[in-house]
């Protein structure tokens, strides 16, 4: 992956030393060195390969950004550590030196699309309610799903005292003998156990839940437990907040 050039003052600010404005002052007052040379002009661009020092000391925290897409298997938690000692999604990763963390949560028994990154800015943007990132779930539920039963979800139902935003819901399959159904539901909120709670609310308790899509990401090419790095083009789309999902159904 080519190194991305960024403004020197941004890199210094990101390293947590100071604000961007103060970083500019550090530069103009001759306290910053790039590859051993003092730089006093603002706006020069540097990459991860450049050695940056402030008052002669290398800046810390310039961890290379990494972006991963996992097909989360059942039976792992998405927290970084689990008080019950259960396996976490981080235990699955091999050869990733950076400390990444999951973008949002999936339950222990939920499978599917999970992004992980050490880029806090992008993670926060994705999780911000204003971004309205679409999440597509396929749920196997107990009971016979009908349009009437699912209708309240399209308007919003009250869960833990708060109404959910309207969801898009479709019935994919009904097994009348087994009295089970497959329901696809698209939401952009990200409350804890939201899909299970919503379907429970309309009398269709969830037996199995998979997240098929998150923003424009899906599970193509990823077996359960597998993960891959995002492509440059995918990272770029995240950076410009182009979260739309163009998948045709
Ligand atoms: N909704 C749930 O109920 N569980 C998940 O893991 C994700 C969304």
pLDDT digit string (tens) for 70-118? 999 999 999 877 888 999 999 999 988 788 889 999 999 999 999 999 8
Centroid of chain to Cα 84: 24
Measure 33 CA to ligand 1 centroid, in angstroms.
Answer: 48
**Mapping DSSP to helix (H, G, I), strand (E, B) and coil, where does residue 22 land?**
helix
Q: Counting atoms of ligand 1 from 1, which one is nearest the CA of 196?
A: 3
**Mapping DSSP to helix (H, G, I), strand (E, B) and coil, where does residue 107 land?**
coil
Any idea what DSSP says for residue 103? S
Rounded to whole angstroms, the Cα distance separating 27 from 15 reads: 15
Nearest alpha-carbon partner for 140 in 207, 78, 45, 196: 207
Question: Which of 107, 208, 211 best tests ligand 1's pocket when mutated (most atoms within 8 Å of CB)?
Answer: 107
Mean pLDDT computed over 192-215: 98
Measure 106 CA to ligand 1 centroid, in angstroms.
Answer: 6
The tokens of 193 are what?
């156990």
Ligand 1 residue neighbourhood (C-beta within 6 Å): 106-107, 110, 193-196, 209
Measure 235 CA to ligand 1 centroid, in angstroms.
Answer: 25
Q: For the ranges 1-10, 71-80, 187-196, 210-219, which has the lowest average pLDDT?
A: 1-10
Mean pLDDT computed over 40-61: 84
Contact between 55 and 217 (Cβ < 8 Å): no
More confident residue, 220 or 20: 220
Nearest alpha-carbon partner for 153 in 189, 198, 196: 198
Q: Whose CA is nearest to atom 7 of ligand 1?
A: 106
| Residues in contact with 215: Cβ distance below 8 Å, sequence separation at least 6, in sequence order | 126, 133, 134, 238, 243, 244, 245
- Domains within the chain, CATH numbers bracketed: 6-58 (3.10.290.10), 67-130+217-246 (3.30.70.580), 134-214 (3.30.70.1560)
Rounded to whole angstroms, the Cα distance separating 65 from 71 reads: 20
**Mapping DSSP to helix (H, G, I), strand (E, B) and coil, where does residue 81 land?**
coil
**Active-site residue numbers?**
107
Any idea what DSSP says for residue 242? -
Question: Which of 78, 211, 212 best tests ligand 1's pocket when mutated (most atoms within 8 Å of CB)?
Answer: 211
| Residues in contact with 136: Cβ distance below 8 Å, sequence separation at least 6, in sequence order | 184, 185, 186, 211, 212, 213, 214, 245
Contact between 93 and 68 (Cβ < 8 Å): yes
Any idea what DSSP says for residue 71? E
Q: Whose CA is nearest to atom 3 of ligand 1?
A: 193
**In terms of residues, how long is the chain?**
249
Measure 65 CA to ligand 1 centroid, in angstroms.
Answer: 27
Measure 175 CA to ligand 1 centroid, in angstroms.
Answer: 23
Rounded to whole angstroms, the Cα distance separating 13 from 27 reads: 12
pLDDT of 248: 44
Q: For the ranges 20-24, 160-164, 210-214, 216-220, which has the lowest average pLDDT?
A: 20-24
Q: Counting atoms of ligand 1 from 1, which one is nearest the CA of 135?
A: 8
């Amino acid at each position: 992956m080519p190194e991305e050039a960024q403004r020197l003052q941004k890199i210094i600010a990101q390293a947590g030393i100071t604000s961007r404005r103060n970083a500019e002052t550090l530069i103009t007052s001759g306290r910053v060195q790039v590859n051993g040379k003092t730089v006093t002009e603002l706006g020069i661009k540097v990459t991860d390969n450049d050695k940056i020092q402030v008052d002669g000391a290398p800046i810390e925290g310039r961890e290379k950004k990494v972006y991963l897409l996992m097909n989360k298997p059942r039976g792992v938690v998405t927290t970084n550590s689990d008080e019950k000692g259960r396996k976490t999604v981080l235990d699955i990763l091999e050869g990733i030196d950076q400390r990444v963390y999951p973008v949002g949560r999936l339950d222990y028994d939920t499978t599917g699309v999970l992004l992980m990154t050490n880029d806090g800015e992008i993670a926060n943007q994705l999780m911000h309610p204003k971004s309205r990132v679409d999440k597509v779930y396929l749920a196997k539920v107990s009971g016979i799903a009908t349009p009437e039963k699912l209708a309240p979800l399209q308007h919003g139902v009250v869960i833990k005292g708060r109404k959910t935003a309207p969801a898009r819901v479709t019935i994919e399959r009904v097994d009348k003998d087994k009295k089970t159904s497959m329901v696809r539901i698209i939401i952009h909120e990200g409350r804890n156990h939201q899909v299970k709670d919503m379907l429970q609310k309309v009398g269709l308790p969830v037996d199995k839940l998979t997240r098929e899509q998150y923003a424009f990401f899906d599970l193509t090419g990823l077996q359960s437990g597998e993960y891959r790095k995002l492509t440059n083009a995918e990272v770029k789309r995240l950076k410009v907040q182009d979260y739309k999902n163009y998948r045709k159904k």
